[in-house]
Amino acid sequence: MRFLLFAIAFTLAASPEKPVGPVSSEDEFLVVTASALVDKQAVRNALGEDPRTDLVVIDIKVAPRADNKITVSLDDFTLISRKDGQRSQPLAPSQIAGTDALVVAQNGYGGVGGGIGRMNSGQGPMWGGVPGTGSRPRRIGGEDEGAVTGAATPGEAQATVTKDTTTGKANPLLDALKQKALPLRETTEPVTGLLYFFLEGKHKLKDLELIYKSPAGRMMLDFQK
């Protein structure tokens, strides 16, 4: 009997955290509905590929009210963890699996390799800049943001077959990220898709809150509720 109880407790502890939601928020312009995936296996299942980094995936729907026209942009979303105060804006697919995904430094965190740098103090992570080549890193969200290749642009979420520029082979992870990503465009119709956030370490759903900048102001989606 004692062994059975131990086995049940171990199974429950090892089970991935189920998505909570959807949670929603609305104003006079639009309705936002979202659910979050924080467990690595759930993220892999959603993408069909292993992202090989600490991603929180938000499955989101942005639905304009009446005939309102809105512009869906990655800059309008911020994910916050109450666990340790980390703040992250969504990453473009190329920043996760493309040639721009090498991290050199991030506000004193990380180093060469080791995943995507932590976002902190309103400054974006450093991308590119391979040591020994003379190329310097560029900071997304900083003064030299325009130097970053593969940054998010409207239409990037459209499905295309992506190849590794060094081998010429298809990159299944990058292709999956692009196919499933939230479309970035001006629209009067609802749009649905995935947003990809980097949060270092493990986080529970109750730790997370998503902020969306609507034309009417900030909307808060709390995954604890």
State the pLDDT at residue 160.
39
Contact 150, 157 (CB under 8 A): no
Q: What is the DSSP letter of 120?
A: B
CA distance 170 to 56: 24
Instruction: Indicate if the pLDDT at residue 17 is higher than 70.
Output: no
| Residue 102 vs residue 76, higher pLDDT | 76
Residue 153, exposed/middle/buried by CB under 10 A (0-12, 13-18, 19+)? exposed
- pLDDT tens-digit map of 87-137: 999 999 999 997 656 443 333 333 323 334 433 334 444 343 333 334 344
- Could you tell me the two tokens for 71? 């512009």
Task: Give, rounded to a whole angstrom, the gap between the first and last alpha carbons of the chain.
Answer: 36
**What is the pTM for the complete model shown?**
0.67
Q: How many CB atoms lie within 10 A of CB 74?
A: 19
User: Hey, is 64 helix, strand or coil?
Assistant: strand
Please state the rounded mean pLDDT for residues 179-183.
97
CA distance 23 to 210: 10
User: Hey, is 66 helix, strand or coil?
Assistant: coil
Report how far apart, in Å, the C-alpha atoms of 7 and of each of 2, 14, 15, 18 are.
Answer: 9, 11, 12, 20
Residue 172, exposed/middle/buried by CB under 10 A (0-12, 13-18, 19+)? middle
* CATH T-level topology, domain 17-97+178-222: Immunoglobulin-like (2.60.40)
State the pLDDT at residue 171.
87
